[in-house]
Chain A
Amino acid sequence: MEASLAGGTPVPAITVRDLTMAYGDFVLQRHLDFTIGSGDIFVIMGGSGCGKSTLLRHLIGLNEPRKGEIFYGTESFTAADEERRTEMLRRIGVLYQSGALWSSMTLAENVSLPLGEFTSLQPDEIREVAELKLALVGLAGFEDYYPSDISGGMQKRAGLARAMALDPEILFFDEPGAGLDPISARLLDDLILELRDSLGATIVIVTHELASIFAIATNSIFLDAESRTMIATGLPTELRDHSPSDQVRRFLRRGES
């Protein structure tokens, strides 16, 4: 990828510079500065309502920054025109909190849509790739089911198959474990690790599930709702044991400081 081609210092997958997020007059977070390294599993954490999901929406272009800039590699995503942005978006995949599968289409059609739009594959080839992607997330045989026919955990996995359809360089997850039983959540974590190792993708996850944070994260930031900015960054296990901030330690130890 770009990093190895450049030769020198590796180019981070995403760089966020002095980002301010706001809804109307209400500033949600300000002065966000961080980089997401290529190949990282990067966790955005923080208490409820601190702006984790909103930050994710900014990173994928669904919300516009009030101030600051977001870079994909070395290229500014914020300043890119619509056409360029479309091209950049093709390199990412997003798994939404509720799966957000297109409910009027079968699972195979859900995965096929991006393939049909952005590749020159023939219909039978598309079907084949779609079946493969669904098999990767353990949904072989469910190709012709509609999203409403399958369980919440299966919808998430199908959403993951769709997010991976175009072999993205960066995968975004919005609360992947929410609403899943502990075993399904664990299996999803394993799947995420497996994907990172086999595809070499960079992974950005919004979550507050400690078990999964410690199990998979290689880097993280902590957003604070009170001071409305990031108050820690680093490896979560490291932060749990050595963070100077009492609040971060309490969060990572379920309230025990």
Chain B
Amino acid sequence: MPTTTSPTSELTLTHGPDGTVVVRLAGSWKLESGLPSLVDLERELDSADGARVAFDTSDLGTWDSSVLAFLAGASKLARERGIEVDPTGLPEGLRRLLALAEAVPEKEGVRAEKEDDDEFVERVGEVAIETERLFRSDLEFLGQVVLAFGRALRGKARFRRSDLALLIQQSGFDALPIVTLVTFLLGLILAFVGAIQLQTFGATIYVADLVGVAMVRDMGALITGIIMAGRSGAAFAAQLGSMKVTQEIDALETMAISSMEFLVLPRVLALFLMMPFLTLYGDAMGILGGAFVGVTMLGLSLTEYLLQTADAVSMSHLVGGVFKGTVYGVLIALAGCLQGVQSGKSSSAVGDAATSAVVTGIVAIIGACGLFAFVFYALGI
């Protein structure tokens, strides 16, 4: 018999005397070259009646887990058919690894059962139950926030003033650059869109009306809200979510310090206090963006443009816009904190919480915006 080992793996099955299936493994077995198929062996075992399986590894070169995986599969096939496996032909190392792999039998009921995807009714039911549960916990969260606000109004809520100050800085002042950029460009875009239409009538001055009213009434608050949802809403969810992972929220609860008051309240307050200013600031930047187009492209003077804007925008527009912005701020903070508090306890769960915070925040803002449009129209504002 040749003693040199071939570079590739070889697998031959021979029928020995007394019906023994001899599995001959030769050559070099590497995981890189794939796992050998068990089909031949299975066929061989099925045809052999009540015999045993033995191994011949005299020509086996280097080997790794690929052999082991094959042997584990083979031994399982044999066991299922009640065929005895004789491991004496295997090298010492393989024999011990195989014994180790089979030492602890699979625990019953540990493997997750495959969900039956076909049961449509079942799935609908599950979704309904889950939705109801989520709705309940959302309501519960809202109720707790209202209670915490009640205590805050009576001066009884416990949170650190320095936390509120820091949150105000982070979600207010630190947001100014991005709010500047986005609202200025939005004003600019509105002005361009308007100018194309109004130029045909030679009424370019009304660009100031268009930009001013659009920004102050709706767009300023809406765009600032969307920026804040992406910035602060996500940040709140991630902060509270990771505090849940590290048990910091548990530590607060067992200290009898309500996480609603200590964590949620200052965040809602911070956005409640900052959104009016950010909205006003965004309005102003949008109008400046419009003015930039008016002065540089449409040949209007800055004074002319600003006077026209002041004429077009009424106080009720301004107050309405700031009111909307404030409501959006509260919605964003609530969405962020809700997702954070309900976050699971893994790193991916925190990521999911941040994602849902942004999505819920934006949906809530747009929903509220639509509602406001109806109500304000009905009220004639």
Q: Using a CB–CB distance below 8 Å, which chain A residues touch chain B?
A: 57, 60-62, 85-87, 89-90, 92, 94, 96-98, 100-104, 113-114, 117-118, 162
- Further 17 A-B residue pairs, CB within 8 A, beyond A94-B250, A94-B254, A100-B251: A62-B250, A62-B253, A89-B256, A90-B256, A92-B254, A96-B247, A96-B250, A96-B251, A97-B247, A100-B250, A101-B248, A102-B248, A103-B243, A103-B248, A113-B160, A113-B257, A117-B255
**Hey, which chain A residues are within 8 Å of B254, CB to CB?**
60-62, 89, 92, 94
Q: Does B231 contact A (CB under 8 A)?
A: no
Smallest CB separation, A66 vs chain B (Å): 17
Q: Does B317 contact A (CB under 8 A)?
A: no
Q: Does B24 contact A (CB under 8 A)?
A: no
Restricting to B127-185, which residues have a CB under 8 Å from any CB of A?
158, 160, 163
Q: Does B246 contact A (CB under 8 A)?
A: yes
Smallest CB separation, B170 vs chain A (Å): 11
Interface of A is mostly: mixed
A-B contact pairs, 5 of them (CB 8 A): A96-B247, A96-B250, A100-B246, A113-B160, A162-B251
The CA of A22 and the CA of B350, in the complex, are separated in Å by 25
Cβ contact within 8 Å between B256 and A94? no
Q: How many residues of B contact A (CB 8 A)?
A: 15
Which partner residue on chain B sits nearest A109 by CB separation? Answer: B160
**Most chain B beta-carbon neighbours within 10 Å: one of A85, A96, A100, A118:** A100
Which partner residue on chain A sits nearest B257 by CB separation? Answer: A117
Q: Mark B224-258, 1 if CB is under 8 A from A, else 0.
A: 00000000000000000001001110111111110
Restricting to B292-307, which residues have a CB under 8 Å from any CB of A?
none
Cβ contact within 8 Å between A100 and B247? yes
Smallest CB separation, A23 vs chain B (Å): 13
**Hey, which chain A residues are within 8 Å of B257, CB to CB?**
113-114, 117
Which residue of B160, B247, B252, B256 is within 8 Å of A98 (Cβ)? B247
Smallest CB separation, B26 vs chain A (Å): 40
Which residue of B160, B248, B250, B256 is within 8 Å of A86 (Cβ)? B256
Cβ contact within 8 Å between A89 and B255? yes
**Hey, which chain B residues are within 8 Å of A62, CB to CB?**
250, 253-254
The CA of A98 and the CA of B246, in the complex, are separated in Å by 7
Smallest CB separation, A162 vs chain B (Å): 8
Smallest CB separation, A115 vs chain B (Å): 11
The CA of A109 and the CA of B76, in the complex, are separated in Å by 60
The CA of A103 and the CA of B242, in the complex, are separated in Å by 10
Smallest CB separation, B244 vs chain A (Å): 10
**Most chain A beta-carbon neighbours within 10 Å: one of B243, B246, B248, B256:** B256
**Hey, which chain A residues are within 8 Å of B160, CB to CB?**
113
**Hey, which chain B residues are within 8 Å of A118, CB to CB?**
256
Which partner residue on chain B sits nearest A94 by CB separation? Answer: B254
**Hey, which chain A residues are within 8 Å of B251, CB to CB?**
94, 96, 100-102, 162
Which partner residue on chain B sits nearest A162 by CB separation? Answer: B251
The CA of A92 and the CA of B256, in the complex, are separated in Å by 10
The CA of A104 and the CA of B266, in the complex, are separated in Å by 15
Restricting to B239-295, which residues have a CB under 8 Å from any CB of A?
243, 246-248, 250-257
The CA of A86 and the CA of B158, in the complex, are separated in Å by 14
The CA of A94 and the CA of B255, in the complex, are separated in Å by 8
Which partner residue on chain A sits nearest B250 by CB separation? Answer: A62
The CA of A103 and the CA of B247, in the complex, are separated in Å by 11
Smallest CB separation, B184 vs chain A (Å): 33
Which residue of B250, B253, B255 is within 8 Å of A113 (Cβ)? B255
Smallest CB separation, B342 vs chain A (Å): 16
**Hey, which chain A residues are within 8 Å of B247, CB to CB?**
96-98, 100
**Most chain A beta-carbon neighbours within 10 Å: one of B243, B246, B254, B257:** B254
Smallest CB separation, B317 vs chain A (Å): 40
